[in-house]
Amino acid sequence: MEKKKKKSNGAGKAVVRFIDRLFGLVLAAVIVVGIFGLTLEWILCKGPSPALRDSFVMTMIWTRRFDFITHIFLSDEEVDEIYKSHFEATTADRTDTSMITIKAQEEPDEELGPQPDEYGYVDEDGDGLIFVDVKKKGFVGKMIIIKDPSRVFVGKPEVYGGYGMALDALVERYDALGGINGGAFYDPEGGGTGGYPDGLTVVDGESFSIGGDRTFVGFDENNVLFVGDIDAETATELKIRDGVSFGPALLVNGVGNYGAYMESGINPRTAIGQRADGAVLMLVIDGRQMHSVGCSFGDVRDVMIDFGAVNACNLDGGSSTVMYYNGEYINSPSSASGTSRALPDAFLFR
């Protein structure tokens, strides 16, 4: 009996030694990775490239959960200065409505069948909607081309304030076909309820949440998309019917925004634009995932240019980026739920 007891004790000690060594290896690996991460961050924050530093800082800020990382080697004042420099006020001229000529929707020729439009895209089933996969280096996304701009509008929860609604719920509320997330909302520490929009929001000609100084994007009663600095009074003068606030402006009157801040920050993105023929462009770019890391504002601008946009504006991104159509999310959201966050508004289409 004595020998068996010793043998048992020896086996127990071996297990303890194994666990102890395994823990030591894991701890050592964590320390090495931590040191490597801190060294890399120091190089990014204090290295010779301000552009690389700004891109890192803006990516972390937009990620929200990890924005504390930027403060390890940078002061609060330095981080705030970088953030503010990347949201310069829009200085573009007011949208020139003469550059948009909305074309009547034509029935396809029965003999020839669906033909490419002047931009090279084909409405295969004749429903006025064209879906295009966007694939670029480092990111992928989805574009919806909506031929008739009168089909696009802004939807909101029944009551502003309190809790917002997921995109699928907003689509259902308005009996719409689909849509994308819209404007800014108050989201302290990434835990906002989505019920309080930040900046001017116009729904069916009525202005909501008129505070804030963000760039506005919205349609007038003639279905022309306006992008720029518009307050509630100006929105009434311009007869804006639907719109939200975010930014930055990507294109105004065919002129792209090439400010230095446009190239920083790699994140999921959402944008809306309009071609010269009136067609609306709805874009989402996946991010923070293996198949797509995300992109900069400049990347979104370039995609909009590729698709023929004359006017375009960036919308809320990050974990808010979602696209919904025909009963399902057709992009890959980066939110914790894998679907939509609660939103204060959205661009929808019938």
Domain-wise residue ranges, the chain: 2-85, 97-349
Q: How far, in whole angstroms, is CA 336 from its chain's centroid?
A: 15
**pLDDT of amino acid 90:** 46
Taking the C-alpha atoms of residue 340 and residue 181, their distance in angstroms, rounded to an integer, is 9
Instruction: Enumerate the H helices of the chain as residue ranges.
Output: 2-46, 50-63, 76-85, 167-173, 232-237, 297-306
Taking the C-alpha atoms of residue 167 and residue 206, their distance in angstroms, rounded to an integer, is 21
Amino acid at 252: V
Taking the C-alpha atoms of residue 201 and residue 207, their distance in angstroms, rounded to an integer, is 6
Cβ atoms of 143 and 131 closer than 8 Å: yes
**pLDDT of amino acid 72:** 74
Q: The tokens 């089909």 sit on which residue?
A: 151
**pLDDT of amino acid 124:** 92
Could you tell me whether strands 178-181 and 346-349 are parallel, antiparallel, or unpaired per DSSP bridges? antiparallel
Strand partners, 267: 295
Burial of 269 (0-12, 13-18, 19+ CB in 10 A): buried
Cβ atoms of 344 and 192 closer than 8 Å: no
pTM for the full predicted model:
0.80
pLDDT under 50: residue ranges of the chain: 89-91
Strand partners, 118: none
Residues sharing a CB contact under 8 Å with residue 147, sequence separation 6 or more, in sequence order: 105, 123, 128, 129, 130, 278, 279
Amino acid at 31: I
Burial of 293 (0-12, 13-18, 19+ CB in 10 A): middle
The model's pLDDT over 181-225, given as tens digits with 9 standing for 90+, comes to 999 998 776 667 888 899 999 999 999 887 777 899 999 999 999
In 10 A of CB 287, how many CB atoms? Answer: 28
Taking the C-alpha atoms of residue 273 and residue 145, their distance in angstroms, rounded to an integer, is 10
Taking the C-alpha atoms of residue 94 and residue 226, their distance in angstroms, rounded to an integer, is 8
**pLDDT of amino acid 49:** 58
**Which two three-digit tokens encode residue 207?**
């202005």
